[in-house]
Homo-oligomer: A and B are copies of this chain.
Amino acid sequence: MSTYVFGHTNPDSDSIVGAISLSYLKNALGEDTVPTRQGKISPETEFILNKFGGKLPELKTSYAGEEVYIIDYSDLAQAPEDILEATVLGIVDHHKLGDLTTATPLECWIRPVGCSNTIVKEMYDAAGIEIPKDIAGMMLCAILSDTVIFKSPTCTKVDTKACKELALIAGIEDYKALGMEMFIVKSAVQGATPRELTTRDYKEFAMGDTKVGVGQLEVVDLKVFDDMKADLHADIKKIKEESGLHTVMLLLTDIMTEGSQILVVSDDNSKIENAFDIKLENEEAWLAGVLSRKKQIIPFLQPQF
């Protein structure tokens, strides 16, 4: 019987690459694991897999009765619906500790760093297992993505050190250029439907008695949104209605000028205005310096609820 290794619903590059890199490590240590995914991959992840010849993990959304390792989350909201019927052997994550509990002892590698693949790198080093060249390249990209090429306030020295070492293994000299290439792919939003874009990197957060949804699109130039901002705004309004949320926000993040334009639909705009000390105009505002949803958005919204 195989053990499955997978990231969160609505997978980002860290979730997909993490499933691949962690599964390889576990197999090198004598286990029999298979990387899987809970949903559709993004163009950025597709770029990474193509670049390094990575195999797309199979789609699998039900795990009752199975043994699993999970990566990049520890909360039930991002887990498969039947996760409590699975045996969680381990968790690798870099977020706050979520509400998943287990019935048996397990292995948790949770660190306050910028990316789960930085922790997988630590695990390879601790186990004395060599990282294959292609997997090192993918892990490098996952870290560059999560840390916005080291610009995000979530980035730590551990992340930058891991990237340097992974770049050496992968034989990549200018890994910041690779990061830019990847973000340019990420910025290609033409041809995608508004819903594909609003949900590409979308998460819901429990706040007070209610829920807030926050999506994020990171691009190298906000001009790509000029013709579609109205459609995106209309779509987050729909999401809010469909899901009965208090607030839905979309962050259009410009990684070059380093800031985010926020589009807001809320039952109470003053909460958002108070959280960031701003005035919304047409339910929009510019937040200079804001790149990280985790560190610069959620902790400020939470006390308003």
| A residues apposed to B, CB below 8 Å | 88, 91, 94-112, 126, 294, 299, 302
Contacts and interface: CB of A to CB of B under 8 A. Distances in A.
Given A108-B109, A109-B108, A112-B105, A97 B100 contact: yes
11 contacts: A91-B97, A96-B101, A96-B103, A103-B299, A104-B112, A105-B111, A106-B112, A107-B110, A108-B110, A110-B110, A126-B126
Contacts of A105: 94-96, 110-112, 294
A108 B102 contact: no
Contacts of A101: 96-99
Contact of A97 (B96, B106, B111): B106
Identical copies of this chain, number: 2
Contacts of A88: 97
| Listed residue (A104, A105, A107, A112) with the most chain B CB atoms within 10 angstroms of its CB | A105
| Listed residue (A95, A97, A106, A109) with the most chain B CB atoms within 10 angstroms of its CB | A97
| Listed residue (A95, A101, A302) with the most chain B CB atoms within 10 angstroms of its CB | A101
A104 B153 CA distance: 14
A294 B99 CA distance: 22
Contact of A108 (B97, B100, B126): B97
B104 A111 contact: no
A302 B97 CA distance: 25
Nearest to A113: B105
A107 B103 contact: no
Nearest to A302: B103
Given A88-B97, A95-B105, A103-B302, 13 more contacts: A91-B97, A91-B108, A96-B101, A96-B102, A96-B105, A97-B101, A97-B102, A103-B299, A106-B110, A106-B112, A109-B109, A110-B110, A126-B126
A291 to B, nearest CB: 16
A102 B106 CA distance: 19
| Listed residue (A99, A104, A126) with the most chain B CB atoms within 10 angstroms of its CB | A104
A293 to B, nearest CB: 13
A108 B108 contact: yes
Contacts of A111: 105, 107-108
